[in-house]
Amino acid sequence: MGTLLDQALGLQTTNQALPRGKVFLIKDGVRCHGSFVLHHLLTRALPSSLVLFLALAEPFSHYDRILKKLGCNLTAQRENNKFLFFDLLQLGSPGVERESLVEGGLFELYGKIHKVVELNAASNGNGNICIMIDDVSLLEIAARGFLDSVLNFLHYCHALTSVQGCSLVLLGHEDIYSNMPHPRFLFQIEYFADVMISVKPLATGLSADVHGQLTVLNKGSFDEQSLSKNKICNFQFRIKENSVEYFYPGAKI
């Protein structure tokens, strides 16, 4: 059996890949980062899936160093064409015109993603593809006001989950929308997410043995009586040097 997180995500074995056609949304904040969940999902996607990683937060060396601690060699996966890294750290940097960012940057970026997906389907049949974005909040910031274009880009990526069976993993900072009564961007990505993973600090404050709490919402379908079959799991976590420990509330003092 996998960890509590694996069980909450519906991953019953330690080597089971991410389910196809699903969208995973990781929501975190400044006080409690959720990057460790993204790293965990990356290890589950590799090596059985081709991973297209869109990085707006950190360079390749950062992810390579972290994943090595988790027993995954990203450099080797990259050399074997199982891990395609899109370095987007300069997207939206000063001096880049907003029009070129949207019309050129996002449009060309999706074109590259779509081309890889089509080539993989042609050469590898039903091979799994996972698209990861770290983080989607920075994608919105980089667009500097062109929210519709960013949403269109994400909807195109979302369409690949149903058309091509890709899985999509998004990491976003929930607390940057805390002062907005109706955060349209957040509502949109929550709407098409199949699984939402919320990473928050302890409500009771800091603890040496407990670093935060996780809430995993698996959206279900509706039965004939239109009753939702959503599944919610709540547990806590502690980040170690080379792993993360998950446990139910009360298991640690």
pLDDT along the chain (253 residues), means of 10: 85 79 92 93 92 95 95 95 90 54 73 92 81 89 78 93 93 80 84 94 78 90 52 92 89 65
**Cβ count near 74 (within 10 Å):** 23
Kindly give the pairing relationship between strand 83-87 and strand 167-173.
Answer: unpaired
pTM of the model: 0.90
89 CB-near residues (< 8 Å, 6+ apart): 55, 56, 57, 58, 59
Top CATH class, 23-203+231-247:
alpha beta
**Cα gap 82→50, rounded to integer Å:** 5
- Predicted local distance difference test score (pLDDT) of residue 92: 56
Pull the structure tokens for residue 122. Answer: 């042609």
Phi/psi region, residue 193 (left: phi>0; alpha: psi -120 to 50; beta: rest), is beta
- Looking at the DSSP bridge assignments, the partners of residue 175 are none
Residue 25 β-bridge partners: 170, 196
Closest CA to 93 of 142, 20, 45: 142
Q: Where are the domains of the chain?
A: 23-203+231-247
In terms of C-beta density within 10 A (0-12 exposed, 13-18 middle, 19 or more buried), how is residue 207 classed? middle
Taking the C-alpha atoms of residue 177 and residue 123, their distance in angstroms, rounded to an integer, is 42
Find the distance separating the first CA and the last CA of the chain, reported in whole Å: 25
Helix 184-191 × helix 147-163 angle, to 10°: 0
In this prediction, residue 222 carries a pLDDT of: 45
